[in-house]
Amino acid sequence: MTQALIVIDVQNDFCPGGALAVPEGDLIVPGINRLMEEAETVVLTQDWHPSDHSSFASQHDGAAPFSLTQMSYGPQVLWPDHCVQGTDGAAFHADLAVDRAQMILRKGFRRGIDSYSAFFENDHVTPTGLEGYLRTRGVTRVRMVGLATDFCVNFSAVDAARLGFEVEVRLDLCRAIDLDGSLAAALEGMRAAGVKLSDG
């Protein structure tokens, strides 16, 4: 029974001062580094958008950031431009111990579709390949930490549970965006999917 630590999107744009800053997003870095030191298998995910990504409000005439739109694959929040490929905003937080990671999974790189989850793009069917990576390495349990609790951590955790992994989310090492009750809905959804929520 092998466990993997999956560190979701601990990138400059999600930290204070970034384009889509999550309150206290940087405070979780030291605790994540400590977990990474002990973990046998470490995966980092990296939100990685082209500059004209369709999840950006700037690509939709008159649309305000944080408004909701309909895409062919379902509802989509329109975000401020963030995590543009190759920019400093897309880089990992400078203090994150990235050398501990064996795999870095980039997601959201296709213009027309977002990818909150580390396992599937937002159409919920296009795989990222992470499931195969974990299974071929014998991983059956995953522990998740990172940003943001109510978006990328939530979607990743629920997908992992649906795929049959045993999932724990360390809420003390996550921080939320919390748009219109999205944090409460995410906690409820994760619980319903069988995700273990813990505080350390």
Question: Which residues contact ligand VGL (rule: CB under 6 A)?
Answer: 9, 14, 47, 79, 147-148, 151-152
Minimum CB distance to Zn ion, residue 89 (Å): 11
Contact assessment for residue 117 and residue 140, using Cβ atoms and an 8 Å cutoff: no
| Residue in 13, 26, 107, 159 annotated catalytic | 107
- Give 91 or 137: the residue with its C-beta nearer to ligand VGL: 91
- Give 9 or 159: the residue with its C-beta nearer to ligand VGL: 9
- Give 104 or 197: the residue with its C-beta nearer to Zn ion: 104
The closest of 28, 13, 47, 44 to 200, measured between CA atoms, is 28
Minimum CB distance to ligand VGL, residue 163 (Å): 19
The closest of 97, 96, 72, 80 to 13, measured between CA atoms, is 80
d(CA 178, CA 12): 18
Interface with Zn ion (CB under 5 A), residue total 1
Minimum CB distance to ligand VGL, residue 45 (Å): 8
Q: From the DSSP assignment, how many helices (H) and strands (E) are in the chain?
A: 4, 8
Q: Is 196 a catalytic residue?
A: no
- Local structure of 142: helix, strand or coil: strand
Contact assessment for residue 79 and residue 140, using Cβ atoms and an 8 Å cutoff: no
- The 43-72 site mask, x for binding Zn ion (CB under 5 A), equals ----x-------------------------
| Residue in 15, 83, 152, 174 annotated catalytic | 152
Contact assessment for residue 101 and residue 91, using Cβ atoms and an 8 Å cutoff: no
**Is it true that the peptide bond before 94 is cis, omega within 30 degrees of 0?**
no
Selection from ligand VGL, Zn ion, none that 148 binds (CB < 5 to 8 A by kind) is ligand VGL
Q: Is 152 a catalytic residue?
A: yes
Task: List interacting residues with Zn ion (CB under 5 A).
Answer: 47
Residues annotated catalytic, as ranges: 9, 107, 152
